[in-house]
Structure 1
């Protein structure tokens, strides 16, 4: 299927590196190089940025995290757990450092960026359990860092979006900290890989569909075969039934037209709507996967402004 890109995005698309998860070591090295050269957001207000370790899940290592907060604040602020993308096998704090700073500055929130464990070395449910441990910490100890623990949300991009979706179900089932909002940006939620966008968009910028089976195989290693009936709903939230989703926090689901993961995100938004979850959808035409990471474009600026506005509104309490 041919596709049309926004002219500004098309101008940079050819220069963007393509991930090749068939050589995971090389893919990780390339991702780390890209992350190291991403521009750092220069905040107009002083920010406190603190690296820390959070108690991990039972029997597992502590979880690395980075907490971003406006340095000058007169009251506790909403807390936002931020889960990075990377196909469950790549990514880290460096990848989301700039957008985390922007969220803390412009949305007026305390951002807890989570460096969860990666597959295949740590397959499902390691990343989800690390995310839950970070959420428990935010609920129990976040007040020490200026977080209003009654106003907690979670934001995830790509694989992080899938983790964020699963986390909302997990914390409800365990009676953990209550989330009041979920922000799912191009969420990776469906291991079955049978949507029209996954089948018909094989060669797109940033993320290519050929990597999706590899990503899911690494993530589900030792648990289930991707596409099999026994894949847990907490691993692939698109498998949820209405009862699984009822009562979850209000959602913003973001999708990009030129993105293999487009339809699974839109389908998941429909499932949330059918379950009665207040859900807004932002679909960006002529844009590729997580295009807001490309600085200086009109469409990217609009995406960022939309995100900031949504976070401010949905975490206002």
Structure 2
């Protein structure tokens, strides 16, 4: 086992809380359903998430990918509506096997109010019941619908950011690749937070956090096995499901890539930024010293978490041309 990068001491209480709350049951093939049921109990109802914040929330059932079921989008707008507003198309995390469209929506609401934006969170099919490319195709279908219906939602179709953390970051990268290759929607930016993008699970950072930390190498194996099945580790795996396998990462929308130095996704996130730069593309990479997987959400008061939040908002202001 490779010596791990130490955690920032200020983050350690948040890491302990993460492990106690989220990873109470080890995630393996035979515990996915139990983990999913537990995960559902830690995501509050949307009304509780919203609280007294001045937003309007509605669900829309929209067409899914060709030949697949419809999908549900939750749309969040400032109370009273907006016109020509930016939009955040949000894809939830959960290792490709857990979660729903309300996971992480608290931060989405903050951004909706901060930027006078529209937030759209997509419900996608989970593995292993729905192997790749079901999830990324669902996410892409929702984006296509958003762009086609932008005017009615008060959205400027030229200012849409696709965003997600962990599995949601990987799916966001996949959606950006699909939009490029299918001559689809124009995305102004892709925000990839601690993204899950490489099924090989062989980097130094994955080995440093084998059996330790939040979302360790074993969990990662479980998620990728569920998503890809026998295609895992082969050249037949779709690059839309596994963005690190994309042969060409040129002509993509500007990327914001954010990851902790003390987590398994550090090296694949860094490599993805390096590859984008090598094509002449735009990427802004932040690797936060001592940061565990998802540290900014579970340790928001820590100095490094405040720095990460500030950097993220700075990039959004620049990419959206917002004050």
Shift of 1:74: 5.5
Mapped partners of 2:262, 2:44: distance in 1: 26
Matching residue within 246, 250, 263 for 1:246: 250
Partner of residue 315, structure 1: 320
Mapped partners of 1:65, 1:133: distance in 2: 11
Aligned 8 A contact 1:9 1:297 in 2: no
Mapped partners of 2:39, 2:135: distance in 1: 19
1:115-126 alignment to 2 at 5 Å?
115-126=123-134
Using the size of structure 2 for normalisation, the TM-score is 0.90
Partner of residue 296, structure 2: 292
Shift of 1:226: 1.6
Change in 2 beyond 3 A, CA 1:3/1:173: closer
Any idea what SS the aligned residue of 2:103 has? Answer: helix
Partner of residue 49, structure 2: 40
Change in 2 beyond 3 A, CA 1:301/1:32: farther
1:122-171 CA-partner distances (Å, limit 9, x unpaired) = 11111111111111111101221111112122002111111111111111
Mapped partners of 1:288, 1:37: distance in 2: 27
The answer on 1:86 being equivalent to 2:91 is no
Partner of residue 228, structure 1: 234
Any idea what SS the aligned residue of 1:51 has? Answer: strand
Mapped partners of 1:73, 1:93: distance in 2: 21
Unaligned runs of 5+ in 1: none
The answer on 1:303 being equivalent to 2:302 is no
Aligned 8 A contact 1:183 1:252 in 2: yes
Any idea what SS the aligned residue of 1:98 has? Answer: helix
Any idea what SS the aligned residue of 1:179 has? Answer: coil
Aligned 8 A contact 1:8 1:297 in 2: no
Any idea what SS the aligned residue of 1:35 has? Answer: coil
Any idea what SS the aligned residue of 1:118 has? Answer: coil
Mapped partners of 1:132, 1:94: distance in 2: 18
Partner of residue 134, structure 1: 142
Matching residue within 103, 106, 120 for 1:112: 120
The runs of 4+ residues in structure 1 deviating greater than 4 Å are 41-44
Change in 2 beyond 3 A, CA 1:128/1:2: closer
1:169-209 CA-partner distances (Å, limit 9, x unpaired) = 11121121111111111111111111100012123433111
Partner of residue 164, structure 1: 172
